[in-house]
Structure 1
Amino acid sequence: MEDRIKELIELTAIIIEVVGILVMIIGIFLALGRFAFKRQGTEIRSFQKIREELGRAILLGLEILIAADIIATVVYGAKIGQILNLGLIILIRTFLSFTLEVEIEGKWPWKQKRSRTTGQK
């Protein structure tokens, strides 16, 4: 019974990893497709807009991959080497997420004037 649960969790981690990769791939193709046609409604799309869309697709994919890494580490055991490896992966992906967020928004997260959830100043 325990082996079946472990296999199910391993499969779940793999599926989540695939979803994270697909999110990035689909997001990239959507952004490039929109940019290639240069028009969305009456507005001409800018280079900055494609960079924002690409960054958001990568950010979302990275967040999903972090979740998959955490699940996979729990399944494979909590040896110190694996925990350190997971910590390093999460640190690198968090740094990438942070720098992408700064690149997209154009300012530090603590310098935001509006609340993201309410849209208020």
Structure 2
Amino acid sequence: MDFESVFADVARVIEGIGVVIMAIGLAVVLIRYAYDVLRKGGGSYEQLRVNLGRVILLGLEILIVGDIIRTIIVDTSLETVLILALIVAIRTVLSFALEVEISGAWPWQQRRTE
């Protein structure tokens, strides 16, 4: 095995971990919400959204790491760098939007206290 194929496999594993985190996180969040509905007589929809947003943010950040490794080490061409830049830009916008949904404020503002 050469250097590039090893890191191609590493990037695939990291991306797989990101997907697994999102899938397992979704299951855990939904099970927790169902438990709250059944035991407490009602679950908080807002808490469900916050927890799901956190799971998605974590998964997106890990997927970005895999994309960066693949682009920098495995397939370094102008086209792949531009594709990576577009993917990172889209995921960054998604991350900001999710952060605003979770905290109720922009990341650089003081968090809202409830």
- Pick aligned residue for 2:77 from 76, 79, 83: 79
Deviation at 1:10, TM superposition (A): 0.6
Residue-by-residue CA offset, 1:61-98 (whole Å, 9 max, x unaligned): 00000000000112333211111000000000011011
| Runs ≥4 residues deviating over 6 A | none
Residue-by-residue CA offset, 1:89-109 (whole Å, 9 max, x unaligned): 000001101100010001112
1-structure distance, mates of 2:86, 2:104: 26
1-structure distance, mates of 2:69, 2:54: 23
**1:32–1:94 CA distance, 2 compared to 1 (3 A):** same
Deviation at 1:51, TM superposition (A): 0.4
Q: Which runs of 5+ in 1 are unaligned?
A: 115-121
Residue-by-residue CA offset, 1:31-67 (whole Å, 9 max, x unaligned): 100011116x879531111101100000000000000
**Same amino acid, percent of matched pairs:** 44
What are the within-5 Å matches in structure 2 for residues 1-121 of structure 1? Answer: 4-38=2-36, 45-113=43-111
1-structure distance, mates of 2:55, 2:16: 14
Q: Which residue identity lines up with residue 30 of structure 1 in the other structure?
A: V
Q: Given the two structures, how large is their TM-score scaled by the length of structure 2?
A: 0.88
Aligned residues: 112
Q: Which residue identity lines up with residue 47 of structure 2 in the other structure?
A: K
Query: CA RMSD for the aligned pairs?
Result: 2.0
Q: Given the two structures, how large is their TM-score scaled by the length of structure 1?
A: 0.83
Q: Which runs of 5+ in 2 are unaligned?
A: none
Local SS of the residue matching 1:73: helix
Q: Which residue identity lines up with residue 92 of structure 2 in the other structure?
A: T
